[in-house]
Structure 1
Amino acid sequence: MKRNVLAVVIPALLAAGAANAAEIYNKDGNKVDVYGKVVGLHYFVTNSDGGEDVDKSYARLGFKGETQISDQLTGYGQWEAEFKAATEGGSTANTRLSFVGFKFGDLGSFDYGRNVGIAQDVASFTDVLVEFGGTYADSDVYMTKRASALATYRNSGFFGLVDGLNVALQYQGKTDGGQANEGYSVATTYDIMDTGVAVGASYTASHTIDGDVALGDKAEVWNFATKYDANNVYLAAMFAETRNVAGWNKTQNIELAAQYQFDFGLRPSLGYVQQRAKEENKNYDLIRHVEVGAFYDFNKNMSAYVAYQINMLDKKDDPYAKSTDDILATGLVYQF
Structure 2
Amino acid sequence: MNVKLNAIAIAISFVFIAPQLQAYQLIKDDKNDVKLTGMAYAGHFFGNEKNSANYGSNNFLRFGADAKTAIDDKLTAIGKYEAQFKLNNPDSEQNFASSVNGSDNGGAGDAQGTNVRTRLIFGGVGVKDIGAFTFGRQWSPNADTFTGWTDIGYTDGYTGSALGLGTDRFASARASDVLKYAGVFGNANILASYKFKTQRDTDTLDKDNSAYNLAATYNLPMHVSIGAGFINGHRPQSTSGVATNNPKLYLAGLKYDDSSWYAAVTAAKGSDFLANGVDHKGIETALRYTFTNGLGLLATWEKQTVDVNGENLDAYNSTTFGPIYNFTKNLSVSFEYRINSLDKNAWSPSAVRAYGDYSKTSGSYNSVAVDAANDYQFAVKYLF
Q: Which residue of 1 aligns with 2:312?
A: 283
Highest relative contact order (Cα 8 Å, sep 6+), 1 or 2? Answer: 1
The structure carrying a bigger strand percent of its residues is 1
Instruction: Give the alignment partner of residue 320 of structure 1, picking from 344, 359, 365.
Output: 365
Q: Give matches, 1:206-217, under 5 Å.
A: 206-208=233-235, 214=242, 216-217=244-245
- Label 1:310 to 1:214 Cα distance change in 2 as closer, same or farther (>3 A): farther
Q: Which residue of 1 aligns with 2:62?
A: 60
* % identical aligned pairs: 26
Task: Give the superposition deviation at 1:331.
Answer: 0.6
1:138 aligns with 2:166: yes
SS at match of 1:216: coil
SS at match of 1:314: coil
Larger radius of gyration: 2
Contact residue 123 and residue 225 of structure 1 kept, 8 A: no
1:171 aligns with 2:197: no
> Please, which runs of 5 or more residues in structure 1 have no aligned partner?
1-19, 158-162
Q: Which residue identity lines up with residue 34 of structure 1 in the other structure?
A: L
Query: 4+ residue stretches of structure 1 with deviation over 6 A?
Result: 210-213
Q: Which residue of 1 aligns with 2:106?
A: none
In 1: Cα distance, 2:194 partner to 2:84 partner: 25
Contact residue 47 and residue 55 of structure 2 kept, 8 A: yes
Matched residues, number: 311
1:269 aligns with 2:269: no
Contact residue 237 and residue 243 of structure 2 kept, 8 A: no
TM-score relative to the length of structure 2: 0.76
How large is the Cα RMSD of the aligned pairs?
Answer: 2.2
Higher deviation after alignment, 39-48 or 145-154 = 39-48
Contact residue 47 and residue 327 of structure 1 kept, 8 A: no
- Label 1:177 to 1:306 Cα distance change in 2 as closer, same or farther (>3 A): same
Q: Which residue of 2 aligns with 1:156?
A: 184
What does the per-residue CA deviation read over 1:43-64, in whole Å, with 9 as the maximum and x for residues that have no partner?
1123742767311100001001
Q: Which residue of 1 aligns with 2:141?
A: 118
Instruction: Give the alignment partner of residue 43 of structure 1, picking from 42, 45, 48.
Output: 45
- Label 1:312 to 1:102 Cα distance change in 2 as closer, same or farther (>3 A): same
Q: Which residue of 1 aligns with 2:151?
A: 127
Q: Give matches, 1:219-234, under 5 Å.
A: 219-230=247-258, 232-234=260-262
In 2: Cα distance, 1:156 partner to 1:169 partner: 12
Instruction: Give the alignment partner of residue 265 of structure 2, picking from 237, 241, 245.
Output: 237
Higher deviation after alignment, 285-294 or 308-317 = 308-317
In 2: Cα distance, 1:261 partner to 1:83 partner: 30
In 2: Cα distance, 1:317 partner to 1:66 partner: 47
In 2: Cα distance, 1:80 partner to 1:231 partner: 27
In 2: Cα distance, 1:217 partner to 1:210 partner: 8
Instruction: Give the alignment partner of residue 251 of structure 1, picking from 276, 280, 285.
Output: 280
> Please, which runs of 5 or more residues in structure 2 have no aligned partner?
1-21, 98-114, 202-206, 348-363
Higher deviation after alignment, 297-306 or 43-52 = 43-52
Q: Which residue identity lines up with residue 138 of structure 2 in the other structure?
A: N
In 2: Cα distance, 1:102 partner to 1:169 partner: 15
- Label 1:215 to 1:116 Cα distance change in 2 as closer, same or farther (>3 A): farther
In 2: Cα distance, 1:253 partner to 1:214 partner: 27
